[in-house]
Amino acid sequence: MHILRQVGQIRQIKQIGQTRHFAQTSRHSQVLRVLGLESSCDDTAAAIVTSSGEILSETNRHQHAIHSQHGGIVPGLAANHHLMNMPLVVHETLKAAGLQISDLDAIAVTRGPGLPASLAVCMSAGKTLAAVHEKPLIGVHHMEAHALMARMGAEDKVQFPYLCLLISGGHTLTLVVHDINEYTMIGTTRDDSIGEAFDKVARELQIPWIDAQIGGGAGPALEQCALAGDPTRFPLPVPMDKADSAGSPDFSFSGLKTRIKRMREQALFDPLCAQDQADVAAAFQMTAAKHLRKKTVLAFRRARELLQGQPLSCLVASGGVASNLAVRQVLAGLAAKEGVELVCPPPSLCTDNGVMIAWAGIERLRRGLLDPYTIDFIQRWPLEDLKQMGYTKRTSSF
Ligand code: KG4
Ligand code: ZN
């Protein structure tokens, strides 16, 4: 059934004039193989993934060590490092899989949203590889890739429609995922994203970033620090919990961050004292998770109204912050109450990576959602715009 569906789609792509090479490769191998490239922020990543959900190879060069000295991501530095790293990352990924570009069915690349100069690197690399080798090109929406990641190897469980909580450094969203390319946003942040809040609070608490090799960055550092903390010693108010905003499914994290900043200014805790650091980190993490929980309950209600009796298959949590185990625990409890399962990609696939871009590429390739070689990057790109933007069902992109 699965393979039949793929073959059907491959035929469809062929009919609309896909390159001969693509049709031949796909017909013989049946399982699709897609290279995904990502450089929208501070990770230079590539992966080759199959339509049966197998990761053939994966490479990710983080820049945490470079940006940690500046207390945040410096766009120019990020782009320079992507430029240096991208050729090596692509080379290593192909080599590790024992494949050449000619063996692939398509090249998927993050098209946006993200830092312009960083996006330009993966776009340029992906477009050039695709054009030179006459391979289909798929421009991937970074948030769609996060939202679809949980389906890889679990398509029976994560069926459309499902509710997705997308919690990353760039976004905090609840979405109904109706289908590939089709999303309804229910709640979004009114100010900072949850990832930004983790990062800023970690800075306020002067928690050193964890080494890149073990999944670096400020968020994981705060999570680790909070393990030794008492979350009740510094009680913090749950954001948007007052009568005027309690009914809104939107999020807000800047108040929480500012509160902790004020506490430090008023010397209510000492960031140089390890126990204070851990207790404030634990209080912040618990309060942020409670806020997510309350707003996700509202999102479930709205999603069910919208779907008019059509059931949600599960709750997916994805994006960098979904790798946080304390957050996952809270969300798992909520999902159980809502009568669905919480499905999260493994932590390394929650944060930015090439696998999610390759997998989103596979999902779009199966539907014939291809792009011309002339596409450019899109810095700001609401996920709901995907549907009306459409795609190009054709081969020759010049
Ligand atoms: O999805 P992602 O890798 O990049 C974006 O698309 O933004 O998310 C990065 C964000 C950063 O703010 C990082 O600190 C946060 O996710 N993050 C975490 C954890 N791992 C990554 N936050 C809390 N706990 C974690 N374990
Ligand atoms: Zn991301």
Tell me, yes or no, whether 179 lies in a domain. yes
Q: How far apart are CA 205 and CA 203, in angstroms?
A: 5
Are 13 and 122 members of one domain?
Answer: yes
Q: Is residue 382 part of a domain?
A: yes
pLDDT in tens, 13-66: 332 323 233 333 444 458 999 999 999 998 999 999 999 999 999 999 988 778
Residues contacting 376, CB < 8 A, separation 6+: 123
35: helix, strand or coil? strand
On whether both 184 and 106 belong to a single domain, the answer is no
Coil/strand/helix, residue 164: strand
For residues 98 and 19, which has the higher predicted lDDT (pLDDT)? Answer: 98
Please indicate, yes or no, whether residues 111 and 250 belong to a single structural domain of this protein.
no
% the chain with pLDDT above 90 = 82
Quick one: which H or E segment has residue 283?
helix 274-307
Residues contacting ligand 1 via CB (< 6 Å)? 41, 168-170, 195, 198-199, 217-220, 223, 319-321, 323-324, 351-352
Q: Report the atom number in ligand 1 closest to the C-alpha of 195.
A: 12
Residue 181 lies in a domain: yes
pLDDT in tens, 319-361: 999 999 999 999 999 999 999 999 999 999 999 999 999 999 9
Would you say residue 396 lies in a domain? no
Instruction: Give residue 8's pLDDT band: very low, low, confident or very high (50, 70, 90).
Output: very low
The answer to the question of residue 12 being in a domain is yes
Query: In terms of Cα–Cα distance, which of 101, 105, 81 is closest to 90?
Result: 101
Is 397 within a domain? no
What's 306's domain CATH number?
3.30.420.40
Is residue 194 within 8 Å of 219, Cβ to Cβ? no
Residue 39: DSSP 8-state: -
191 and 53 co-located in one domain: no
End-to-end CA, the chain: 35
Residues 10 and 131 in one domain: yes
Q: How many helices and strands, by DSSP H and E, does the chain display?
A: 14, 10
**Neighbour count for residue 367 (Cβ, 10 Å):** 15
Closest by alpha carbon to 80, among 112, 36, 121? 121
- Which is the closest atom of ligand 1 to the Cα of 351? 3
Nearest to 369 by CA among 397, 389, 392: 392
| CB contact at 8 A, 369 and 394 | no
b/e burial code for range 7-21 (CB count within 10 A of at least 16 → b): eebbeebbeeebbee
Residues 117 and 182 grouped into a single domain: no
Q: Average pLDDT, stretch 253-259?
A: 97
Distance between CA atoms of residues 293 and 160, nearest Å: 22
Give start and end residues of each alpha helix (H) in 1-115: 2-15, 20-29, 64-68, 75-97
* Cα–ligand 2 centroid distance for 356 (angstroms): 9
User: Does a structural domain hold residue 373?
Assistant: yes
* d(C-alpha 149, C-alpha 211), whole Å: 25
Centre of ligand 1 to C-alpha 203, Å, is 14
Rounded to the nearest whole angstrom, what is the distance from the C-alpha of residue 59 to the centroid of ligand 1? 18
Instruction: Categorize the per-residue pLDDT at 211 as very low, low, confident or very high, splitting at 50, 70 and 90.
Output: low
Q: What is the Cα–Cα distance from 379 to 354, expressed in whole angstroms?
A: 19
Provide the domain count of the chain.
2
Q: Do residues 118 and 173 share a domain? A: no
334 and 383 belong to one structural domain: no
Residues 210 and 125 in one domain: no
- Full domain range(s) for residue 316: 162-344
Residue 318 lies in a domain: yes
Tell me: do 114 and 62 sit in the same domain: yes
Residues 102 and 11 reside in one and the same domain: yes
Same domain, 32 and 181: no
Task: Point out which residues pair with 210 in neighbouring strands.
Answer: 217
